[in-house]
Chains A and B, each alone.
Chain A
């Protein structure tokens, strides 16, 4: 039997005066890679941000590792340490003088009150291992201002991996990686899922990847249109539900893969 990592029940989130996500319920088990698909403006990022407590929710409940997110967006610290989140278009001021080593080290940190040099050795070790995993050990001493888009993404992934987690939440993570970087990236996710039983929740526009890689799919278009294994959720009928009939006709006539 699998353990439920994330449970969402009747979630509704408002942006401005409009429900961006309405009445969404699903649960995510350990060792499962779940994709959220849907057209632009369907509320995918909103859903993820509400789960993390970045956006306030209107109604519904969110439970991670059995702990409920309270109305103020608060989880106990051990739950926060078990979650890693990679935002979409991760925007930061490139003039901030921070090295790759320091940035990845922030992921390792427990972020409480502590002396700045505490855990120095353990942190250095963990940072080195995480950077090796994403093939970025040579970037260690570099300032983030000098990184390319793909390197930034790999460094951020190392930020997620630097401490053992239970849940990895990715908002269109591989954007900015080249072909090889992308396949390495998915291989790494697969490994984390199989060997360390991580649960992964990722937003994706790449339906081919979702079909190959993911175990579960949520089709979102403000409300949850369907959920299930990729074969079912990505059927033309269900895609029409999520994206509209036009989209499916377009995919049919243009896609080289006639797998639908």
Chain B
């Protein structure tokens, strides 16, 4: 009986427009996160997406101070931030992780100070840090849908170039690939994806959203094309399951999604162990 009531409650939950928006938003951002994430971890940009997520809080707080809708300011902020960081990384002799640390901790600090001036902010800082399922609006869905189409076209139509770039940059240059153009395009797309995902996932966890599905896909895949596809699929799946978990148990949405991702990752890990073990025993 108890299970039936629970299921009924779940079905009822999906009747709510906010839940439908959350699930659709989850699928769209999850697919993108997984797709770009597969290249992000190989190009060692995981920490970059982390820094970008943390710094996005600065963009949100600037928006609140100016009385603007955070959605409107978030995407331009993310792109400017990404381009600025890329420029700094290319021009200074400092180590990438150290420089990113300076940038994200200082923008986090300034953002928190700025937020303390926005006394009447309704949602509260918790929702910004850990994501709010109710925050996904129709406008965000439109952004996400358009961005998913752009990302799919870009990655799909330049897949071989992206593979070669990921493998070895000099080799790609020798083939006539404009490395800096591709690098910048990828960074801009990544920052947009992080930007649209931030409201549901929260600034603290958004990088996990990009990194974990890709790592799980790495464990499961036997070639590059399937790696990218599996990564996108796991991204979308975990976002939907996480949204459902969040809504049904009334948990913050970001941690719910990341917990689901962790479970998928652990499942992939144990599957890998098991298949290796069975291979070894059958070889004997």
- Is B99 close to A, CB under 8 A? no
Contacts of B168 in A (CB 8 A): 87, 90-92
Mark B43-78 against chain A: 1 for CB-CB distance below 8 A, else 0.
000000000000000000000000000000000000
Q: Scan residues 159-190 of chain B and give those whose CB is less than 8 A from a CB of chain A.
A: 159-161, 163-164, 166-168, 170-171, 173-177
Q: Scan residues 141-186 of chain A and give those whose CB is less than 8 A from a CB of chain B.
A: 141, 143, 169
Q: Contact check: which of A52, A95, A98 meets B223 at CB < 8 Å?
A: A98
Chief secondary structure at chain B's binding surface: helix
With A95-B218, A99-B223, A109-B160 as given contacts, are A80 and B176 in contact (CB-CB < 8 Å)?
yes
A-B contact count (CB 8 A): 83
Docked Cα-Cα span, A75 to B42, in Å, equals 28
Q: Contact check: which of B158, B166, B173 meets A96 at CB < 8 Å?
A: B166
Docked Cα-Cα span, A141 to B226, in Å, equals 13
Most A-side CB within 10 Å, residue of B173, B218, B222? B173
With A93-B42, A115-B157, A143-B222 as given contacts, are A98 and B176 in contact (CB-CB < 8 Å)?
no
Q: Are A98 and B173 in contact (CB under 8 A)?
A: no
Q: Are A54 and B156 in contact (CB under 8 A)?
A: no
Closest A residue to B218 by CB, please name it: A97
Contacts of A77 in B (CB 8 A): 176
Q: Are A102 and B42 in contact (CB under 8 A)?
A: no
Chain B residues with a Cβ closer than 8 Å to the other chain, count: 26
Docked Cα-Cα span, A75 to B158, in Å, equals 19
Q: Are A102 and B225 in contact (CB under 8 A)?
A: yes
CB distance from A41 to the nearest CB of B (A): 19
Chain A residues with a Cβ closer than 8 Å to the other chain, count: 35
With A96-B42, A97-B222, A114-B157 as given contacts, are A52 and B167 in contact (CB-CB < 8 Å)?
no
Closest A residue to B172 by CB, please name it: A111
CB distance from B248 to the nearest CB of A (A): 35
Q: Contact check: which of B171, B176, B224, B227 meets A75 at CB < 8 Å?
A: B176
- Is B221 close to A, CB under 8 A? yes
Contacts of B160 in A (CB 8 A): 105-106, 109, 111, 114, 116
Q: Are A116 and B167 in contact (CB under 8 A)?
A: no
Q: Are B157 and A74 in contact (CB under 8 A)?
A: no
- Is A213 close to B, CB under 8 A? no
Contacts of A5 in B (CB 8 A): none
CB distance from A25 to the nearest CB of B (A): 22
Most B-side CB within 10 Å, residue of A74, A75, A97, A141? A97
Q: Contact check: which of B156, B164, B177 meets A116 at CB < 8 Å?
A: B156
Q: What are 22 A-B contacts defined by CB distance under 8 Å?
A: A54-B170, A54-B174, A73-B173, A80-B174, A83-B174, A85-B171, A85-B174, A87-B171, A87-B174, A93-B42, A97-B222, A97-B223, A101-B223, A102-B223, A102-B224, A102-B225, A109-B160, A111-B164, A111-B175, A113-B157, A116-B159, A116-B225
User: A85-B174, A98-B163, A106-B167 are known contacts; what are 20 more A-B pairs with Cβ within 8 Å?
Assistant: A54-B174, A77-B176, A80-B175, A80-B176, A83-B174, A85-B170, A96-B167, A97-B223, A97-B224, A98-B167, A102-B225, A106-B163, A111-B164, A111-B175, A111-B176, A115-B157, A116-B156, A116-B159, A141-B222, A143-B222
